[in-house]
Amino acid sequence: MSLSVDIHKLFGGFSLDIAFESDDGVLGLLGASGSGKSMTLKSIAGIVKPDRGRIILDDITLFDSERNINLPPQQRKVGYLFQNYALFPNMTVRQNILCGLRGEKRGANGKGMRAKDMRAQELDEIIAMMQLNGLEKRRPAQLSGGQQQRVALARILAGNPSLLMLDEPFNALDSYLRSHLQLRMKILLKQFGKSTLMVTHDRTEAYRMCDRIALTDAGKVIALKNPKALFSDPGSRQAALLTGCKNVADARKTGDFEIEAPEWGVRLSTAQPVGENLCAVGVRAHYYNPEITDNFFPVCFTDQTEEPFEHIYQFRYKNQSPESPDIWWRVPKSGAQILLPAGLGVDPANVMPLYR
């Protein structure tokens, strides 16, 4: 399965100018609210018409402004799970899922026939797969949020879509249920076996659920990598911030493997070559370590915050600019009292050069 998207849409004062390609597996669209993620899904589904561009799914053109092609939503074979699940409130679980099943089947003789037995078998299989047994006669208001989500997904999968799109599928759930359903959903998506797009603003969710992540900002894809590569080397200042890097500073190249951060008052060695268009440097808060001798400098601690499983220490380098913000150091809780060190180092492999 393959999806190719290259579209432009001017919507009020917002410009969507997004392009990416996706094969089998889960591609996450990760970005802040208002970055164009949901509008991208609606454009693919045929709910929103782009001003120009192309959308091609499995060699079938869904939209092409130059060729005047714009297939209606019902012909696109796209399954779209909305944030609110969009279940029919007056229908039972069984009836909601049946809406996704196609009424016409073709038998071995090639003749069209009404295959109620086949529909019933498919329905039973989907109900079992989504663990909805015993809930068939309930209505959406009688279901938990997680159960509603599974019914909505079952209805979509019943239509055998070529592409599955999930718009913030865990946004309305509490943290415990969210983690539980993420693991369940990951198994279901593997069973689905086709392309999936998942919109999220949650970095941990994207890292956990997706095979690749397209980072969106101001209507554009600014990075597209597998999760590990994206978080270890985001590439740009904005990508570093969107992936949760707390420590980012202006920087300049001072050597093939050296960066100077004037506001921090330090020079840092890198493991990767430094490009000429360097504009900043990033170090994730959990990368600092008092036992690392590389990039080791004296520090002065300024504040401390306790979280359920971590301590966050804020510090400043000895020659740090007074106008620059404190630097973060995250330390997992171990039960033992931490003696704050006189200095901290960071492995050159964990110094991230950032570019324009």
Task: Report pTM.
Answer: 0.87
Instruction: Please provide the distance, in angstroms rounded to a whole number, between the alpha carbons at the two ends of the chain.
Output: 33
More confident residue, 237 or 337: 237
Residues 6+ apart with CB under 8 A from 88: 95, 96, 99, 140
Residue-wise DSSP of 29-51:
EE--TTSSHHHHHHHHHTSS--S
DSSP string, 111-137: -EEE-HHHHHHHHHHHHHHTT-TT-TT
Q: How far apart are CA 327 and CA 73, in angstroms?
A: 49
- pLDDT tens per residue, range 264-318: 999 999 999 999 999 999 999 999 999 999 999 999 999 999 999 999 999 999 9
Residues 125-141, mean pLDDT to the nearest whole number: 89
For residue 104, pLDDT over 50 is answered with no
Check if the beta carbon of residue 349 is closer than 8 Å to that of residue 271. Answer: yes
Query: Whole-number mean pLDDT of the chain?
Result: 90
pLDDT of residue 58 exceeding 70: yes
